[in-house]
Amino acid sequence: MFSSSSSSSSLSFDFYAASCPSVELMVKNTVRQASELDPSIPGKLLRLLFHDCFVEGCDASVLLQGNGTERTDPANISLGGFPVIDSAKRVIEIFCPQTVSCADILALAARDSVQITGGPEIQIPTGRRDGRVSAASNVRPNIIDTSFSLDEMSKIFNSKGLSLDDLVILSGAHTIGSAHCSAFMDRFKANPKGKFTLIDTSLDKDYADQLTKQCPAGASSSSTVNNDPQTPLQFDNNYFKVLLAHKGLFQSDSVLVRNERTMNIVAELANDQNRFFDSWAVSFLKLTSIGVKAGDDGEIRQTCSATNG
């Protein structure tokens, strides 16, 4: 438990049992209250975790503010949910000062986001410590762009100890949340009159028409579209049904039904929500264990947006 090796075995299910027994309750209450006021919060927290864990491991590096931090990279500009983590940390600092890492708070908050929106309830181990390194230059090599091929995506997942199956299963996160027009409009080409035509003909025609209406030329840069056109606020297996209907929003979603092996997984998960939930729990545990810092590695931050100085 006190070795500084970066493995999930350094985490434990009762890590805060003596030092902060109500930490999970405090995180859950904060996430629930914030999500009642703003239903976009669960999606934001879940994506925030993904972008944290893939860069420097699950160490809250994504939360650090300042010049040249991960948050300043264009791939991270549309991240949100930071104030929810800050407010959970504030409450926790009152009851358990200098005890709970921001990395654990973020992992728990993402876990709760899934449950609050109707997904599976998952026990996750804690004991992550907060990193001191956050560099924008680390983002690009580790965060997947929507233009990536399946091979490119699976290479990055493999480098994190995640399999092709994990890639398909965790992409199911797109069953909630939304995306800015700029995240997928490269699938269309504007003619001189500003009318969009589809470059990527794998996309369902009616869905494509709907997207160009929601993201017309000159649309505000803050316009967003639901990732899951049918049940955007529900963590369910509908994302996989959407993929089968050729209505995957990102190109990186659509590629999952163009390969036989990933297509088979998609079909299985689309058919059986329990199967998705069980698989999600396993893959989510792997995601939340990537490159965790423990023992003497890292620190317990006092504020989630800054290192202890």
Binder of residue 174, out of ligand HEM, Ca ion, none (CB less than 5 to 8 A by kind): ligand HEM
Binder of residue 78, out of Ca ion, ligand HEM, none (CB less than 5 to 8 A by kind): ligand HEM
Core vs surface per residue 142-173: b (16+ CB within 10 A) or e: bbbebebebeebbebbeebebebbbbbbbbbb
Question: Based on CB atoms, which residue is closest to ligand HEM, 91 or 143?
Answer: 143
Cβ atoms of residues 51 and 121 within 8 Å: no
Number of H helices, E strands in the chain: 11, 4
Nearest approach in angstroms of CB 180 to ligand HEM is 4
Nearest approach in angstroms of CB 24 to ligand HEM is 20
- Using the rule CB under 6 A, which residue among 103, 107, 173, 265 binds ligand HEM? 173
Could you say whether residue 43 binds ligand HEM (CB under 6 A)? yes
Marked catalytic residue, from 51, 174, 180, 246: 51
Could you say whether residue 146 binds ligand HEM (CB under 6 A)? yes
Instruction: Give yes or no: 174 in active site.
Output: no
Could you say whether residue 72 binds ligand HEM (CB under 6 A)? no
- Backbone angle region of 233, left / alpha / beta, with phi > 0 → left and psi within -120 to 50 → alpha: alpha
Six token digits for residue 46: 């879940």
Could you say whether residue 237 binds ligand HEM (CB under 6 A)? no
Binder of residue 48, out of ligand HEM, Ca ion, none (CB less than 5 to 8 A by kind): none
Distances (CA, A) of 291 to 61, 69, 130, 167, 236: 12, 19, 11, 17, 28
For 230-282, give the DSSP string: S-TTS-STHHHHHHHTT--SSHHHHGGGSSHHHHHHHHHHHH-HHHHHHHHHH
Separation CA 299–CA 309 (nearest Å)? 11
Nearest approach in angstroms of CB 41 to ligand HEM is 9
Nearest approach in angstroms of CB 249 to ligand HEM is 8
Looking at residue 144, the DSSP 8-state letter turns out to be: P
Could you say whether residue 101 binds ligand HEM (CB under 6 A)? no
- Using the rule CB under 6 A, which residue among 46, 102, 107, 208 binds ligand HEM? 46
Question: Based on CB atoms, which residue is closest to ligand HEM, 92 or 225?
Answer: 225
Could you list the active site residues? 51
Which residues of this protein are in contact with ligand HEM, per CB under 6 A? Answer: 40, 43-44, 46-47, 50, 78, 80, 144, 146, 153, 167, 170-171, 173-174, 176-180, 183, 227, 250, 252
